[in-house]
Structure 1
């Protein structure tokens, strides 16, 4: 081997051969061989992002957008630790990432050498696996081991459930090649994997057929999922069997008129008799986490006799405390089977139609009340979000920051004429720390508008999402600025403690105007309902620059509006 760093350079070549074509590189010295390996490879698109926390979330957004793992590379020490929030989000949201952290040689750990910490297994249980590469390359077996481990790591990122895999790379000086060229081996071993069949076997088919013959009230609930391919077959099954389908904005199942999007609003207000009438005898769940607290409470207190969760692999969360069967098949295979199977002769279609009607009646009642509720006398965040969602372009990505932004969008819902809208939100850990950076990752790799709805705490906390040299003309941001963490006045518990404003709400005086001047963004303010229609239209218009529309309002105003909406729905069940 003529070049001492050849095994490291060939990591980039192997990634390219395995179709990993995007890498986010964080500046440093210890990771210089990795930076050179990826940045000089002709088939890998590289970004240089200085803030490691932001860089990792940008990579996460890229992975979501292109549906292939992105690579993130850090130098040694605390730089690697700054990947942790995004790695945890990727783990729980099942987003593939290949995480490479440069390290000092192992003998220098704990010896007061600069930028040296314990990096082996640094992400603990928040990665699918962590690999430690050899630090010496003077034997052919080391090159073989590096190739084998990187192959395995890439495969693991994409095996169900998908997620992040960590490779720690100890590197000995010299780190720079001098006059040596960065070349890639002409023959690199690629260990490809072929997954087995995830179709329905005869035992599962018999069980499904039997239960469909017995059930009288089947309910389908979708948690967060972003698969556009699943939508058609889910809708077909829902229509064919008259199964009510509960899916808020994060389910990306808004293309069907019969989708129940407002369950959180009416389940928190409905009478005991209505709730009992909505109880399923068979519950089928797909997707990841469910946003609605009221839906969780309802299904925990009104348990189905049987609860099937459809998940191909991985640990199953028993969110509703009722799982009886885990069907280890892909959701696509399951719904294709249902769409093609012969309708069981004993299937009680009339009972199922009546059950579906009970759900759709509550949904329609809530939508009518929602439409009659706005406009209110004072313009609030909920109304602004509702109007933005109604005005979305036919094809776009919508990114929802955590806390109130995602909840406003869930309450508003999306309409059936917007099937080209894809909704994303970092609900794996539900943190605010990388919401903007994730949207930036999408914007850097997509050719559609990316609309971010965010609160002030999430926006300013993640301002380093913009600290790079890449234009983002397709990023449009609605900033809901109530100058604090408004959710802590919305939820039960914090509202009565003396320390609320200082230590929970965290009052802050910032606006986005100076930030937009600093980064060269287009900035506008929304300060009245009279301006709202034009302001939203202008925000969504194409531009050569990132756009920010800032709506400032009071936390107490928004709380009062939301409570009034919930009171209206509650009163509708009492009269």
Structure 2
């Protein structure tokens, strides 16, 4: 009888990646839930499998085997209390820094606590038993699969990350008896590089994507510029990237167009920094992450290498004296042609950004509230000496004003500017009751609603006006009452002025930008319709109206309807 691999995708990923990372020693204990795994490896000549009925003994065997062979050892057991017997041996491995990968198999997680036989909760582990623990559920969609690929790569790499030690995988099974996969699939492999074994950099277009980032030093900027010059790379930025070198490409405007203009696709994306702020549209065949923490971060599910090192060292390693860069001209030329086509915009946050961004004073700090404001101000460039920040870490509206004030208090010799929507502003109002220094310049965009939820391309747009009351919180905070914020500012000794039109804004803009002996707040009253219309105008300067695009959209729609109907 011929035996092949299981059709359970999470198990296939595990088996494939164990082979890709060179792990072959397995100690198996008998059971039912781990049959998909054991049945897939026992006829594969690559693996060296040992049998141990007692899981406690198996874990200690793994310690001896890992120590003597100087290589990782895999443990596999079934559900129920079998895994509890690993505790003493894994504790030993933890304190001796031995690379033991404990794979405990389990039933569907929804059965835990419901008096279903032979299933226990393995969601938490003792802190000195394993370095990390991963829950690997069954795979039902592409996102499930890509998470599984990333997580199992991470688990295997964690065996030797920093100090070596044991790692746990809780592998879910569907009890499939279909051992029908004749050829083991290959899945994306992630490698960690620590100052050696550098991979060869791919040929083609390279994008350095900078998420939220602290201020770059002159040396760091020079290293990135040198890399770009050598390797046909461009630096994909939003405002909070804070890279201001020769190859900066503020990509939101160009890449948000309905039609691809040739600046979205890259052969390699190099990701530095942290959580980005603009929901940028771009795609990479693969991604490399560079950070001294060496942690696996895979937001686009295309990570292949993580470099545990300083960014400057990485870029200098891949730089030589050659010159090879055509992509930056493509990006700049495309953007310039697009900017020449910008139509007349309605009075809105977008129009304000267009008229104001370039005039933010040199050497100042700009804070942007999340979502709509942050997105919009990424369409227009600010001066190169301006540093930009946003609460993109947790990505909530609840603390942007406080973060801004904290920054302004710390650096009172530097002018601080903030663009903030009404919901974010009123949510974090308490901070205004502290003593505020005179280097503070607020611009409050008050449209009386959460405009993010009223934009033409947002999910809530499906509901139209029915989104107002609960999704978009329309009507809170006085619903654009011109006296509410004005009275507050008068009582708190904050200079106040307001604008309801382009003409009024133009007359007051310089006052808002100028240094003052008191904090300044300009309230700008717009409408959610104008905000949405302006965004749509900016995103549709170049549209794809071809029949192919229409067919593609309609096909996607039909597929979704079939899924809903269950056909």
TM tier, smaller = 0.5 to 0.7
Higher RCO (C-alpha 8 Å, min separation 6): 1
Aligned residues: 346
Secondary structure at the aligned position of 2:418 is classed as: strand
Q: Cα gap change, 1:255/1:547 in structure 2, threshold over 3 Å: closer, same or farther?
A: farther
Alignment match of 1:384 (pick from 343, 347, 352) = 352
Tell whether 2:340 aligns with 1:368.
Answer: yes
Which residues of 2 match residues 492-531 of structure 1 at below 5 A?
A: 492-497=458-463, 499-507=466-474, 508=476, 509=479, 510=481, 511-531=484-504
1:270 paired residue number: 259
Specify the structure having the higher radius of gyration (Cα). 2
Q: Against the structure 1 CA distance between its residues 323 and 524, is the aligned structure 2 distance closer, same or farther, given a 3 Å change threshold?
A: same
The 1:402–1:453 alpha-carbon spacing in structure 2 relative to 1, beyond 3 Å, is same
Structure 1 residue matching 2:540: 3-state secondary structure: helix
Per-residue CA shift, 1:458-481, capped at 9, x if unaligned?
11111101122x231000001100
> Which residue does 2:431 correspond to in 1?
465
Q: TM-score, normalised by structure 1?
A: 0.56
Which structure 2 residue ranges, 5 or more long, are not aligned?
1-161, 163-192, 548-567
Q: Which residue of 2 aligns with 1:329?
A: 309
Matched, 1:570 2:543: yes
Aligned with 1:242 (options 232, 251, 254): 232
Please give the secondary structure, in 1, of the residue aligned with 2:444: strand
What is the CA–CA distance in structure 1 between the aligned matches of 2:337 and 2:429, rounded to whole Å? 41
Per-residue deviation, residues 329-367 of structure 1 (Å, max 9, x unmatched): 11122224344x455xxxxx6xx5344444334333333
What is the DSSP-based 3-state SS (H/G/I as helix, E as strand, rest coil) of the residue aligned with 1:423? strand
Q: In the TM superposition, what are the counterparts of 1:103-252 in structure 2 within 5 Å?
A: 201-204=195-198, 207=199, 210-211=200-201, 215-229=203-217, 230-252=220-242
Residue 397 of structure 1 pairs with residue 365 of structure 2:
yes
- Would the aligned equivalents of 1:472 and 1:545 in 2 still touch at CA under 8 Å? yes
User: Separation in 2 of the partners of 1:279 and 1:356?
Assistant: 13
Does the 8 Å CA contact 2:438/2:517 hold for their aligned counterparts? yes
CA distance in 1, matches of 2:252, 2:532: 20
Contact 1:200 1:334 in 2 (8 A): no
Partner Cα distance (2:533, 2:360) in 1: 27
Report the Cα distance in structure 1 between the residues aligned to 2:370 and 2:525, rounded to whole angstroms: 18
- Deviation string 1:91-143 (CA, Å, 9 cap, x unpaired) is xxxxxxxxxxxxxxxxxxxxxxxxxxxxxxxxxxxxxxxxxxxxxxxxxxxxx
State the partner residue of 1:111. Answer: none
CA RMSD of aligned residues (A): 2.7
The alpha-carbon deviation at position 270 of structure 1 amounts to 2.2
Distance 1:314 1:264 in 2: 32
Change (3 A) 1:264 1:315: farther
Is this contact kept in 2: 1:312–1:330, CA < 8 A?
yes
Counterpart of 1:541 (choices 514, 526, 529) is 514
Residues 415-470 of structure 1 show CA distances to partners (whole Å, capped at 9, x for unaligned) of: xxx221000000011111100000100111102000010001111111101122x2
Q: CA 1:262 to 1:540, structure 2 compared with 1: closer, same or farther past 3 Å?
A: same
Change (3 A) 1:330 1:236: same
Gaps of 5+ in 1: 1-159, 161-198, 344-348
Deviation at 1:499, TM superposition (A): 3.8
Q: Secondary structure at the match of 1:419?
A: coil
Q: In the superposition, relative to structure 1, how do residues 278 and 440 fare at CA in structure 2: closer, same or farther (>3 Å)?
A: closer
Mapped to 2, the partners of 1:293 and 1:250 lie a distance apart of 12
Q: TM-score, normalised by structure 2?
A: 0.57
Partner in structure 1 of residue 444 of structure 2: 479
Once the 2 structures are TM-superposed, how far is the Cα of residue 279 of structure 1 from its aligned partner?
A: 2.7
Match for residue 412 of structure 1 among 365, 371, 380: 380
Runs of 4 or more above 6 Å deviation: 571-574
Cα 1:360/1:501, change in 2 over 3 Å? same
Residue aligning to 1:285: 271
Q: Is the Cα–Cα contact under 8 Å of residues 254 and 419 in structure 1 kept in the other structure?
A: yes
